[in-house]
Structure 1
Amino acid sequence: MSFSTTYTLDKPYFYECFDESLPYSKRAQPKYFLLVLLVSLGLFSIYGLADHYLGTFLIMVAVLECVAFYYRRPWWVTRQMFSRASGSEVTLTFDDEGIKSVNHYKSYQLAWQDITDVIETPQGLLIKNKNNMQYISKQILTDEMLDFINKKATQ
């Protein structure tokens, strides 16, 4: 049995992908330890070592880390939009071997035995393997495809 579907890598898809994947990623929380360390070292440099330049630099790095965390969503989507695959059409194929994704610039295959978990989100599926996660929107999947993926992933 084999199923196939296509979708376009566009800005709304990238936003959906980021929003649905974020709660399950390691970047969902700020790096509190790093922030406390940088601010502490900055204050120590200013008051303990009387080196205002080093202290100010370390505190500004902490502020930059906060800004990077706050703007991580638009930054990630912008990076994806600048990739050469942006705007291209992707063909997804689900068969007894696994999941195949092909577009003009890149292709990958994920075997069913390599999948460690399938997480259903409100708008799609997160396919986890030992190295990373792949997101598939429910907008491009039929009920038959969803049943097939869940059945194959749990075997």
Structure 2
Amino acid sequence: MRIQVNQNINKEYYNEYFSEWLRFRSIFKKWEHKIGFASLVVALVIYINNESLVYISGGLLVFGTLMIYEFYSSKSKWLKERLNSKMMGTEVTMIFEDDKVQSIGPFTEMNGKWEFFSDVVETEKGLILIPENGISIYLQNKSFDKQADIATIVRKIKLLTNNKNSD
């Protein structure tokens, strides 16, 4: 087996990466704006039903507004940092072979074993490779020459992680 994936790092990549991470990997962040809007509704309902609870309504209003702001501003900040990074406009090549995985980028090269990955998440638009909690590598589906290669990588990582967990 030899699967080579050439991933272009551009604005489209980062936007897709963030949305796929948010949907499939985020635990709290994906609920942040929903909690914020719910807090605003609860604040309004409390105030309409009992104006004497204006301080509770005000607190919920501030809390909800902060949650909504944090949700939308964090993506903007994250994206701005990546668009200003040295990785922008480059290409990273990942090569998956039977016994090893290689990553070749503009600033580094890595030769590792498949055990480097602790998990993999297949999304609608790509793969999130997870070396450890808090770190992930995103590969867009369109970066693969053959879509069957995606299933091969997922199967190999899942097999290794299942074997590791059963030991």
Q: Report the TM-score when normalising by structure 2.
A: 0.64
Cα distance in 2 for residues equivalent to 1:152 and 1:103: 23
Cα distance in 1 for residues equivalent to 2:148 and 2:64: 49
Q: Which deviates more from structure 2 when the two are superposed, residues 14-23 or residues 63-72?
A: 63-72
**CA-to-partner distance for each residue in 1:45-76, whole Å, 9 max, x for gaps?**
xx9xxxxxxxxxxxx99966652322222221
Which residue matches 2:79?
77
| Amino acid in structure 2 at the alignment position of 1:136 | L
Q: Is it true that 1:100 corresponds to 2:96 in the alignment? A: no
| Amino acid in structure 1 at the alignment position of 2:129 | I
Q: Which deviates more from structure 2 when the two are superposed, residues 3-12 or residues 104-113?
A: 104-113
Cα distance in 1 for residues equivalent to 2:108 and 2:63: 36
Which residue matches 2:26?
25
Check whether the contact 1:84–1:105 (CA below 8 A) recurs between aligned residues. no
Cα distance in 2 for residues equivalent to 1:88 and 1:114: 24
Cα distance in 2 for residues equivalent to 1:140 and 1:111: 21
- Number of residue pairs the alignment of both structures matches: 135
Unaligned runs of 5+ in 2: 40-54, 56-61, 160-167
Cα distance in 2 for residues equivalent to 1:109 and 1:29: 37
Which residue matches 1:5?
5
Instruction: Give runs of aligned pairs for residues 1-155 of structure 1, distance below 5 A.
Output: 1-23=1-23, 24-26=25-27, 27-30=29-32, 66-109=68-111, 111-131=113-133, 132-141=135-144, 142-155=146-159
Cα distance in 2 for residues equivalent to 1:63 and 1:105: 40
Cα displacement (A) at 1:148: 2.1
Check whether the contact 2:119–2:131 (CA below 8 A) recurs between aligned residues. yes
Cα displacement (A) at 1:9: 0.6
* Change in 2 beyond 3 A, CA 1:109/1:136: farther
**C-alpha RMSD of matched pairs (Å):** 3.1
| Amino acid in structure 1 at the alignment position of 2:128 | L
Q: Report the TM-score when normalising by structure 1.
A: 0.69
Cα displacement (A) at 1:20: 0.4
